[in-house]
Structure 1
């Protein structure tokens, strides 16, 4: 059974009694490898072992509505030298989470995403390729001056800003699972397209990736198809596109050639003067 099928079984998910449900799918070797990135590798006696802290963070992601201490109780996480029924103090759990840092969690996310997101199973492919999608979103953060200074916020048509600081998120997902292969966060002031460039390398060969119309550009899309084997993409055609029809196979299937802008070639001198893509149109409610 693949990981996505197990995660969709909510009955089993909410019957967690210990760590065994997680360890069935996440090898201990992945945990050990991720913990090597922790800035606080030494764990003093009676502190929570670092591996249990990492399991705790995973449990917090699954049980977002529960307090940290309740998640620790659910997973039966205990401190070194204590009996399993003696849970650590609430303050100790929070401090252990801060000591762990973000690097081990990020490394484990990257490892699991690359493994689970590329799993092959019946019904996973379409026309012989895997189907992925890249999309962006905005996340609200706590309304503190420090966060507003660090991540920024959206401007309105007046001098007022959005009520909360905002962060950008771009994620790469297996459409059939759905499991995230990769995700990147950035301050609001950074655009979606530059952020999405950092996830293109995680797209497997023999795949088609769906983008919305905001992810359009010769450099961006050419970098996907030019690195690897049989990497395809599909996106709605932007309005006002200027292109020359090179060839057509019927009325609704044409090969287009477009000029690469001077700005794009200045940014990436390796780009050609023109690039090509396939345009497929269809009728919906009598309109093409």
Structure 2
């Protein structure tokens, strides 16, 4: 059943990254351990040995309780390592996340979203040392270590094209920079306002063909109005900060941004976008953010 959607060739390619690759035929060879990890993700409420038994994970045939020891599963997972699993995740995300379905497009563009989250881990000394503690009002640590997750998601199917995990203290914006270049062409990416950055958004728009972005306006932005399409739609010119230009001298001194405003639940909101007004009207842009982000996005 798994191989109907995950080609065996992908598994073979992933196993090339295993730090413990071996030609010896073990009772639990690496290829079957990788299938076992996938089964653990799908049947996460079941004991690992039970998942292995159901999937017949064993070189000799039926994986009975007498043949498959609990210690053997743990040792096999350690031999496999994390790299093959990570590679397979990114390969499947790239394939499935880019697939298009009826009604998937918005005016010819695939709708994606980038957002972050904070997750708790088990409270062990190793995990606490690596991921760190969340913010507290005192010097006391949070009850559990905290990790950051930033993901790139297909809004329609909710398939993750890519994701990055890091210790709590690392910035979500820096994590998002790691997969900006992998955003597909002919797409519109929705961001939370915390990801606002001229360097990041210019890099996204210029790094491919028809790669647009949409993000809420931040308070206190200083801009000059270049053109007014209507009362809710303006073309603005903004300065790129000296700090950003110091980090990247190729950035321009100014950049143009379209600002679209709309009413939602009695409040006036404004979003910034790279979508040209000549092709995407005011109401369409406002409805895109209102419906796709505020209703559909949820990591």
The TM-score, its normalising length taken from structure 1, stands at: 0.89
Residue pair 1:248, 1:254 contacting (<8 A) in 2 also:
yes
Within 5 Å, which residues of 2 pair with 1:22-61?
Answer: 22-42=2-22, 44-61=24-41
1:185 aligns with 2:165: yes
Corresponding residue to 2:95 among 115, 123, 129: 115
Paired with 2:266 and 2:194, the residues of 1 have a C-alpha distance of 26
Q: For structure 1, which segment, 140-149 or 237-246, has the greater mean C-alpha deviation from structure 2 after superposition? A: 140-149
> Any stretches of 5+ residues in structure 1 without a counterpart?
1-20
Paired with 1:138 and 1:286, the residues of 2 have a C-alpha distance of 30
Q: Could you tell me which residue of structure 1 aligns to residue 227 of structure 2?
A: 247
Residue pair 2:52, 2:63 contacting (<8 A) in 1 also:
no
**Pairs aligned (count):** 266
> What is the SS of the residue equivalent to 1:214?
helix
CA deviation after TM superposition for structure 1 residue 287, in Å: 3.7
Q: Could you tell me which residue of structure 1 aligns to residue 131 of structure 2?
A: 151
CA deviation after TM superposition for structure 1 residue 76, in Å: 1.7
Paired with 1:134 and 1:234, the residues of 2 have a C-alpha distance of 11
Paired with 2:25 and 2:139, the residues of 1 have a C-alpha distance of 54
Corresponding residue to 1:84 among 52, 55, 62: 62
Corresponding residue to 1:219 among 196, 199, 216: 199
Residue pair 2:53, 2:62 contacting (<8 A) in 1 also:
no
Paired with 1:286 and 1:184, the residues of 2 have a C-alpha distance of 36
Going from structure 1 to structure 2, the CA distance change for 1:119 and 1:249 (only over 3 Å counts) comes to same
> Any stretches of 5+ residues in structure 2 without a counterpart?
269-299
Going from structure 1 to structure 2, the CA distance change for 1:110 and 1:286 (only over 3 Å counts) comes to closer
The TM-score, its normalising length taken from structure 2, stands at: 0.86
1:275 aligns with 2:248: no
RMSD: 1.3
CA deviation after TM superposition for structure 1 residue 266, in Å: 1.2
